Amino acid sequence: MLASACFYAVLNVCVKQLSYLPAMELIFFRAAISFILCAWGIHRAGVYFFGKNHRWLMIRGVAGIIALWLYFSCIQQMPLASAVAIQYTSPVFSALFAVFLLGERMNKWKWVFFLISMMGVFLIKGIDSRISYEYLFIGILSAMMSGIAYNAVRKLNVSEHPLVIILYFPMVALPISGIYSWLNWVSPRGFDWSLVLLMGLATQAGQYCMTRAIQLEKLQRVTFLNYAGILFALVLGYLFYNEEFDLVSGTGILMVAGGIFLNLLEKKEKPQEES
């Protein structure tokens, strides 16, 4: 999950740099590259192309494209770290949905640790006056759809190959984003074609790492690690876009890191208590 966060940090910068392109067109490029790589990987692995659990595979694909479209729109209209911070409420929604969809239990301490990290996320950037209520709502809705997608991946943890799970995103996204892009085409400029390719490669690597992490461990643990991505967003936002952070932001960083550490510590201590 930490490797996935690194790859997604690269993706975020690419999307920000390509802000003049429609978000749906960026999804088209991403989906096209992902489809080619998935198809090649599935062929080499000798796995059935369309998978077995079509219902949850489709839910994963539909939730994924909605979440990504809303998220890309936020990245293009907000400071990078602010958009990422709002998106990082998704682990809370993942855990909530997992209680009902997967039957996973949440003890009181995990809720406390979630709250610590959530408070830290919003302290990092504070309430940014450049963020409208419209895009705040869009960002939260994106996080909710990501939570549904995470649960779908977890639901498929034993029945499907990771590449098949990833494949269903471009299978759903390509027809929708392709039609939109054909009607509203904006051509990338020069070197930006390299960013388009990098965006697709970083996406594929991040998707694979995230899918394997969710398949191998409970959502409440691995999606929590996803919070580390906010640190990457802060660093890259500072380096590329001069997005500075102050003492309050530093406190937020410590709260995020502290929440992650306490969550993992609580997870490790539980088996010792049972024995």
Check residues 253 and 200 and name the one with the higher pLDDT.
200
Average pLDDT, the chain: 81
pLDDT tier at 272, thresholds 50, 70, 90: very low
Q: How far is CA 244 from CA 106, 197, 269, in A?
A: 36, 29, 37
Sign of the dihedral through C-alpha 7, 211, 222, 115: positive
Triad 243, 1, 35: Cα angle to 5°: 95
pLDDT tens readout for residues 207-225: 788 878 877 777 666 766 7
pLDDT tens readout for residues 112-141: 877 887 777 677 656 556 667 788 889 889
Residue range 143-171: mean pLDDT, rounded: 85
- CA gap 241, 235 in Å, rounded: 10
The pLDDT of residue 273: 41
Q: How far is CA 228 from CA 156, 182, 231, in A?
A: 25, 37, 6
Check residues 121 and 43 and name the one with the higher pLDDT.
43
